[in-house]
Structure 1
């Protein structure tokens, strides 16, 4: 959920989403992100081969992206670029890659993390991301480094100074999603997203608070 919220902070992405009018209200957000959730479940649950449920799902999502990009271009509202697709893949797996402890994710056996990277690399390729733009590389280590750069250079700045419509879209998404994830609340999800993205001041644990205090002390000393 936090990854989806983070993606809304990318100006070029939210510009396209707004013009589709499929995420502007609680009801349309509910339909859109329930659909996204069900698509993702099919990717995890069914073998990816021609004609399978996961294969058809990915074809459907790719066609939607192409239509959204075409419509946006016709309206002079941007497009769905390779950069945007790559940043969207980060929304699915980036926080889990960089901060697995936040989600209680652990490697049960050797190779699990490499398999996770390979899985999302294939998903990205199926959605139309060219190899040079695919953030999931051949190794876990390289992918981790790329995700860290994306967080530092893109998501932290974008979530520090969010674009127009971010707040409205994020709340609409969260309220809509609460129909099937009943234990989520908009203020918490947005706060937690900014915490995960290392937005200054968004502390969550006592350790975070102590780290912030040490940084403030160093600043005062200077």
Structure 2
């Protein structure tokens, strides 16, 4: 009798464990399913912005430009986080542009602080997100330190790639809907022309920057892995 009770208890515990394991796997699968489309949408937005940068710069500069996608800068060697990712680095004869792409759908307005934005989706949900300008700030400072002449423009841009996004007019002018990108670059080209400075040497600027970049094929994956591990430890 006692053996039967023990056996019944063991079977019950085993069933409970298997049920818990199956539920946990289902939850993990659901999280991965949600994360995968979000990542795919983000990558789609980056491809769209990259293509438009190339198209616009060709219109403005002919073939005298360079766009580097997914560039990994080595900006803090020896630290826990020695690298930083730039979605798109556009080098033109009138300036250098650090572009952070966001594939958000909804209305983008001021956040709770200057470093955040609020995204209100079509169903009324509100999310506080880090501003692309905050994400770009350290990268822009680092690139400026590499390019000493005062008139070598290094500017951070946040480009919202989704067709169903509206950026509030009161936000900084360097936060752009994708359709505004060409006009912004055109204005910057005209402003630079008024300085009387000759065309910036695109190959020379690229060479200086790439000396401080990790161009290995696996560099971007390694950088993202460090970021994920840091977040898991609460370091970033």
Normalized against structure 1, the TM-score is what? 0.31
Question: Which has the larger share of strand?
Answer: 2
* TM-score of the aligned structures, taking structure 2 as reference length: 0.29
Q: Which of the pair has the greater relative contact order for Cα pairs under 8 Å at 6+ separation?
A: 1
Larger radius of gyration: 2
